[in-house]
A and B are shown apart, each in its own frame.
Chain A
């Protein structure tokens, strides 16, 4: 049944259209210069489907559409229930695409338990090593950063990062960004959650730290709220055909942002998200108008 569901979902992917899509905007990771498509794929809630074979197949179809559209970064965490196993199953089904940029997290208060958790996560993904490991929500960050830096030095990891979400602990995030040799910082940012603009985004630009934006749609709450209102005519000026695209274009127009990682369960939404990074981005004046308009709704 799962195979049939995946087959149906894959049929919904017109290869011609996927190939015809322009490659999404790519941004350089400052610490290496490696270019990264600016739309990634989050897995918070959306990929936590347990043993439900039909839903697992849907997740695999989402991943297939993501890779077909030029996406690379998939992000998860031990906190996300079955998401890691679901990603691993999807990657195996898709033959472990070379394009994958595997971004994971370590999430345990014990520094001693970090390596074992990372090994288990690697087993669930079915990958030899991760491209990026981040300290999730700064939990046990000092010990874990030591572990991750040691892994990077030994060639067992390419990039090291930290994460926060929904504006929490920005003071500490700022301190760590200022003092530690980080490759990535992950934080929440969208037209209504703009606290990161004050200190973290300028600091990331100054220190050469790549920025991953999580919860661009506030876990769907923002787009659900906006869906009740018509998309303004001026959204067409930058080729945005949906609220989701307008939000993503707003985020990607911030130069310090490297990748936004919207999560979804739907193939059409993956395509829509990737397409947001494929056209014009708003200038400063239009970004202001987007934020004011969305904030007022």
Chain B
């Protein structure tokens, strides 16, 4: 792209905010009341992490994998790609993430959940934000509740909850499980920013936060290796 420095973020926005938000209204109307089941499943995962962390990764993977595939098919491909061709490229990435989540849940040596230090608690905060705060953002922004973004139904809260859940885990698998969700947070955050939507900052802040935590962890691991 020549003269790339002359482009503004909103030069890449192909649709109006009105059209974007109406996608969620149509999507919710088509899938209701599945939202109740996905919300309940998300909250159950939080309880499982707090009470039975040893089995949490299995259920997290088994639950999240189909939801990522479901969102890819029903929202990204069937709705969003109609107004944003980039969504048709994101959908396969969501399917890859579904496979990775399933593999992490089923293969030996997968991530261990139940981390409840500062990083883990930050993760739980993101989970609760994705489950409870995200649907309320529609009302807070003056949009109808019918267009609320709900975990397991819409991509942003699904991704945010996934990132939060992964922050409560430890293990090498995280290096494979986090990139796609973080890239989506960046992509969707920038899209919302171009639309002038304040909730963009939730996704962008989540991305920066996780990147900082990851860097911090690498630095600590590095300094520990030097001491040893």
| Contact surface of A with B, Cβ cutoff 8 Å | 45-46, 48-52, 55, 79-82, 166-169, 219, 265
Contact = CB atoms under 8 A, between A and B. Distances in A.
A219 B196 CA distance: 14
Nearest to A49: B19
Contacts of A48: 14-16, 19, 83
Chain B facing A: main interface SS: loop
Q: Give the 10 A-B CB pairs with smallest separation, nearest first.
A: A50-B82, A50-B83, A81-B14, A48-B15, A81-B83, A168-B3, A48-B83, A82-B82, A49-B19, A51-B82
B23 interface: yes
A52 B15 contact: no
Contacts of B10: 219
B84 interface: yes
Given A51-B82, A168-B6, A169-B2, A45 B13 contact: yes
Contacts of B23: 50, 52
Nearest to A85: B82
Given A50-B83, A81-B14, A55 B3 contact: no
Given A81-B14, A81-B84, A50 B79 contact: yes
Interface residues of B, number: 18
A70 B135 CA distance: 46
A52 to B, nearest CB: 6
Given A50-B19, A79-B14, A166-B11, 18 more contacts: A45-B15, A48-B14, A48-B15, A49-B83, A50-B15, A50-B23, A51-B79, A51-B82, A52-B22, A55-B19, A55-B22, A82-B83, A167-B6, A168-B2, A168-B6, A169-B3, A219-B10, A265-B16
A265 B16 CA distance: 10
A166 B3 CA distance: 11
25 contacts: A45-B15, A45-B16, A48-B15, A48-B19, A49-B15, A50-B15, A50-B23, A50-B83, A51-B79, A51-B82, A52-B19, A52-B22, A52-B26, A55-B19, A55-B22, A79-B14, A81-B82, A81-B83, A81-B84, A82-B82, A82-B83, A166-B11, A168-B6, A169-B2, A219-B10
B176 interface: no
A166 B14 contact: no
Interface string B179-215: 0000000000000000000000000000000000000
